[in-house]
Structure 1
Amino acid sequence: MNIEKDYIKLIFGLKLKQVRTSKNLSLFGLAKITDLSKSYLNEIEKGKKYPKTDKIILLAEKLEVSYDSMVSLKLDNNLAPIGEILKSGILKEIPLEIFGIQENDLIDIIANAPAKVNAFISTIIEIAQHYNLTRESFFLAALRSYQEAHNNYFEDLEQKVLDFSNAFHVNINTKISVEELTAILIEEYGYTINEIVFSEHEQLGDLRSIFVPKSKTLLLSLDIDEPQKAFILAKEIAYNYLEISERLYTFSWIKFDNFDQVLNNFYASYFAGALLIPRQLLIDKLNVFLSKTNPKAEEMIELMGRFNVSPESFYQRLTNILPKDFQLKNLFFLRLSHQIGSDTYQIKKELHITNQQEPHANEMNEHYCRRWVSIKTIVEAIKQNKRHYFSAQISRYDNSSNEYLVFSSATLDPFKKDCLRSISVGILITPGMKKKFKFMENQTIPKQLVGVTCETCAVKNCEERASAPIQLEQKTRNENTDLIVQQYMTKFS
Structure 2
Amino acid sequence: MTGKLFIGRRFREVRESKKLTQKAFAERLGISLSYLNQIENNQRPVSASVLVLLAERFQIDLSSLSVNDNDRVMSMLTEALADPIFAPYAPNMQELKLVVQNAPGFAQALLNAHQAYRRNSEQLASLDGQIVNWAGEPTAYEEVRDFFHLVDNYVHELDTAAEALAERLGIPDNNTTTALVNHLEARHGVQIRQSGPHENSLRQFDRASRTLWLSPYLPTPTRNFQIALQIAALEEEERIGQIADQAAFRSADARNVCAAGLRNYFAGALILPYQRFLQSARDLRHDLELIATRFGASLEQVAHRLSTLQRPGSKGVPVFFARLDRAGNITKRHSAAKLQFARYGAACPLWNAHQAFEAPSQIIRQLAETPDGVRFLCIATELSKGRGGFGSPRPRYAIALGCEVSYAKDFVYADGLDLTNKGTYEPIGISCRICERTSCPQRAIPPLKSRLNIDRDCRHILPYRISS
TM-score by length of 1: 0.57
Distance 1:394 1:322, change over 3 A: farther
The equivalent residue for 2:426 is: 448
User: How many aligned residue pairs are there?
Assistant: 336
What does 1:243-254 correspond to in 2, within 5 Å? 243-244=237-238
Residues 1:392 and 2:365 are matched in the alignment: yes
User: What is the CA-CA distance between 1:175 and the residue it aligns to?
Assistant: 5.6
**AA paired with 1:316?**
H
What 5-or-longer segments of structure 2 have no aligned partner?
1-27, 31-44, 60-107, 124-133, 242-250, 454-468
Provide the C-alpha distance between the structure 2 equivalents of 1:121 and 1:469, rounded to a whole number of angstroms: 27
**Secondary structure of 2:378's aligned partner:** strand
User: What is the CA-CA distance between 1:181 and the residue it aligns to?
Assistant: 1.3
Distance 1:369 1:47, change over 3 A: closer
**Secondary structure of 2:143's aligned partner:** helix
The equivalent residue for 1:481 is: none
The equivalent residue for 1:335 is: 323
* Contact in 2 for aligned 1:389/1:411 (Cα 8 Å): no
The structure 2 residue matched to 1:346, chosen from 329, 350, 353, is: 329
* Contact in 2 for aligned 1:451/1:459 (Cα 8 Å): no
Distance 1:335 1:438, change over 3 A: closer
User: What is the CA-CA distance between 1:271 and the residue it aligns to?
Assistant: 1.9
The structure 1 residue matched to 2:119, chosen from 111, 125, 128, is: 128
Residue deviations 1:106-145 (CA, integer Å, cap 9, x gap):
9889xxxxxxx99997875453354469999633333333
Look at both structures and tell me which one has the larger radius of gyration over its CA atoms.
1
User: What is the CA-CA distance between 1:359 and the residue it aligns to?
Assistant: 3.1
* Contact in 1 for aligned 2:368/2:427 (Cα 8 Å): yes
* Contact in 2 for aligned 1:151/1:320 (Cα 8 Å): yes
Residues 1:360 and 2:355 are matched in the alignment: no
**Secondary structure of 2:185's aligned partner:** helix
* Contact in 2 for aligned 1:396/1:448 (Cα 8 Å): yes
User: What is the CA-CA distance between 1:335 and the residue it aligns to?
Assistant: 0.6
Distance 1:124 1:148, change over 3 A: closer
User: What is the CA-CA distance between 1:100 and the residue it aligns to?
Assistant: 4.8
What 5-or-longer segments of structure 1 have no aligned partner?
1-45, 49-95, 110-116, 248-255, 339-343, 382-387, 479-493
Distance 1:314 1:234, change over 3 A: same
Distance 1:417 1:475, change over 3 A: farther
Provide the C-alpha distance between the structure 2 equivalents of 1:156 and 1:230, rounded to a whole number of angstroms: 22
* Contact in 2 for aligned 1:335/1:422 (Cα 8 Å): yes
Provide the C-alpha distance between the structure 2 equivalents of 1:437 and 1:322, rounded to a whole number of angstroms: 18
**AA paired with 2:139?**
F
What does 1:334-483 correspond to in 2, within 5 Å? 334-338=322-326, 344-353=327-336, 355=338, 358-363=340-345, 366=346, 368-381=347-360, 388-397=361-370, 399-414=371-386, 417-430=393-406, 433-434=407-408, 436-437=410-411, 440=414, 442-443=416-417, 447-453=425-431, 458=437, 460=439, 462=441, 465=442, 468-472=443-447, 475-477=450-452
The equivalent residue for 2:271 is: 276
The equivalent residue for 2:158 is: 157
Residue deviations 1:155-192 (CA, integer Å, cap 9, x gap):
322321243245xx411242643233122222321224
**AA paired with 2:144?**
L
User: What is the CA-CA distance between 1:477 and the residue it aligns to?
Assistant: 2.4
The structure 1 residue matched to 2:224, chosen from 230, 250, 256, is: 230
**AA paired with 2:429?**
G
More helix by share: 1
- Matched residues, percent identical? 17
What does 1:289-300 correspond to in 2, within 5 Å? 289-290=284-285, 300=288
Distance 1:177 1:326, change over 3 A: closer
Distance 1:221 1:327, change over 3 A: closer
**AA paired with 2:195?**
I
Provide the C-alpha distance between the structure 1 equivalents of 2:379 and 2:118, rounded to a whole number of angstroms: 33
